[in-house]
Amino acid sequence: MASTPAPLLHEQAYIDGQWTSAASGRTFPVKDPANDALIGRVPDMDAADVTRAIEAAHAAFPAWSTALAADRAAILKRWHAAVTAHGRELAEIMTRECGKPLAESIGEVRYGASFIDWSAEQARRVNGEIIPTDQRSRRLLVLRQPVGVVAAITPWNFPLSMITRKVSPALAAGCTVVLKPAELTPFTALALAQLAEEAGLPAGVLNLVTTTDAKRVGGVMSTHPLVRKVTFTGSTAVGKLLMAQAAGTVKKISLELGGNAPFLVFDDADIDAAVEGAIASKFRNSGQTCVCANRVLVQEGIAEAFIPRFTAAVERLKVAPGLEEGAQVGPMIDDKGVAKVMRLLQDAIAHGAQVATGGKAHALGGRFIEPTVLTGVTQAMACTREEIFGPVAPVQTFRTEAEGIALANDTVFGLAAYFYARDSARIWRVGEALEYGMVGINTGLISTAVAPFGGVKESGIGREGSTHALEEFTEMKYLSLAGLG
């Protein structure tokens, strides 16, 4: 991966093809969660700035939405090439902003870039339909047209891929976009915008607003009449708020919200594979992803063999700042994240959970927490209901397959679930019975641009990735052509 001639660290937002400050002139600092070092400052924008961005996106819509799909695809292909070429630099920015180990950031660049590539290809496949007519003199057709201006709000835990997963299918479908990245990770987003600009994206097609006032700016994005679609990844509470706000103007909406992923290990599982999968699923990004295993549910017949091996694997994880060689578990993103993990740990211990390993702040200090395994966990403990978002694995045991499924489904969430088993009839039974949008069977990692990512129940609405990705950004229009003799 080549290094860039121009620095990718931008301290301005991007509206209507211009690098710009907030109208108020205010800025806010962005810090490294590993050591609180200042990375830089970005504009602290408000309602007036985001309104300008929405108007710019609206003005750019007629030309972009009617451009040839092949021309939109060509720009996206160039953006993909630029992101790939600058992968190392983007990964370093990402690790500095959000703390994840550099190896994971490099992986995220590859994963995030794959959505741009996939969307570029899909741009040319937004086909309509011709319906066999119900009257001789008529012909019935369906067009798929871009919805209009899209408002995208993204989280800090995947500073790059959550953006490309939304923005690239929107652009491919012919929509224009106003993006508000998380206030903790704006620099990755700004670097992406620069690379999109260099790839030839016309002014106003992608606009990027940075702010600490997510409530107010998000309020404008979800209520402004020129915005036709809101796409959001983040907490369930904010998702519900945006859904309510978007109802006022009946916007299309996609939500990727919280999860409470069960990780089931059945008696017939391959233990070594299950340990490896549990580590990958639980400790990625220090446990701070919405698809991280939140609960490890182990069948009684295998628990005695699984738990010590899993605990030993957790003890081998290297805790270190993300830029350090070999780091596997980095810091929590902020003090709020640390406090939540500590509260859930203390609650579990108070309710009788045992600490198999870890269980406290790490010797490195700051926001580092020891990778932890809790055993003897029960449904009475808050960690079985709330998303932990940290390196803590609570282990529960169950007797029968039916009991395991019931425990797994006993949550308001329904994003990702995982299970390990070898019996093929069980694989089908459990795969069909889990009330989740995504199920990993004998794997702890499921995300790919070619498959539909999304949840059911309170985990969300809509899907990202796959051949369905662009549907979220288009509307069907039915044409009834009469008088044809």
Active-site residue numbers? 256, 290
**3-state SS, residue 264:** strand
- Residue 73 and residue 79: Cα distance in Å, rounded? 10
**Which of positions 109-148 make contact with ligand ADP (CB under 6 A)?**
none
The residue count for binding ligand ADP (CB under 6 A) is 14
Q: Which of 468, 470, 471, 475 is nearest to 142 (CA)?
A: 475
Task: Among 15, 60, 76, 153, indicate the residue that binds ligand ADP (CB under 6 A).
Answer: 153
Residue 238 beta carbon to ligand ADP: minimum distance, rounded to whole angstroms: 4
Binding to ligand ADP by residue 218, rule CB under 6 A?
A: yes
Question: Which alpha helices (H) appear in 67-174, and where do they start and end?
Answer: 69-85, 87-98, 102-122, 161-173
Contact 478, 133 (CB under 8 A): no
Q: Which of 9, 69, 241, 361 binds ligand ADP (CB under 6 A)?
A: 241
Chain centroid to CA 281: how far?
15
- Binding flag, residue 215, ligand ADP (CB under 6 A): yes
The upper half-sphere exposure of residue 332, i.e. CA atoms within 13 Å in the direction of its Cβ, equals: 23
Nearer of residues 160 and 434 to ligand ADP, judged by Cβ? 160
Tell me the window of 42-50, 58-66, 212-220, 460-468 that interacts with ligand ADP (CB under 6 A): 212-220
Q: Which stretch binds ligand ADP (CB under 6 A): 223-231, 232-240, 247-255, 361-369?
A: 232-240
If the CB atoms of residues 226 and 241 are measured against ligand ADP, the closer one turns out to be: 241
12 belongs to the binding site for ligand ADP (CB under 6 A): no
Nearest residue to 102 via CA among 86, 114, 90, 113 = 90
Decide: is 214 part of the binding site for ligand ADP (CB under 6 A).
yes
Contacts of 400 (CB under 8 A, 6+ apart): none
Q: Which is nearer to ligand ADP, 149 or 238 (CB)?
A: 238
154 binds ligand ADP (CB under 6 A): yes
408 binds ligand ADP (CB under 6 A): no
| C-alpha distance across the termini of the chain, in Å | 62
Q: How far is the CB of 330 from ligand ADP (least distance, A)?
A: 16
In the complex with ligand ADP, which residue's Cβ is closer, 159 or 404?
A: 159
Work out which of 99, 112, 155, 440 binds ligand ADP, going by CB under 6 A.
155
For 11-37, the DSSP string reads: -SEEETTEEE--TT--EEEEE-TTT--
Q: Where are the alpha helices (DSSP H) in 326-443?
A: 335-350, 401-409, 424-433
Question: Taking the complex as a whole, how short is the minimal distance between the CB of residue 357 and ligand ADP, in angstroms?
Answer: 27
Residues that bind ligand ADP (CB under 6 A): 153-155, 180, 182-183, 214-215, 218, 234-235, 238, 241-242
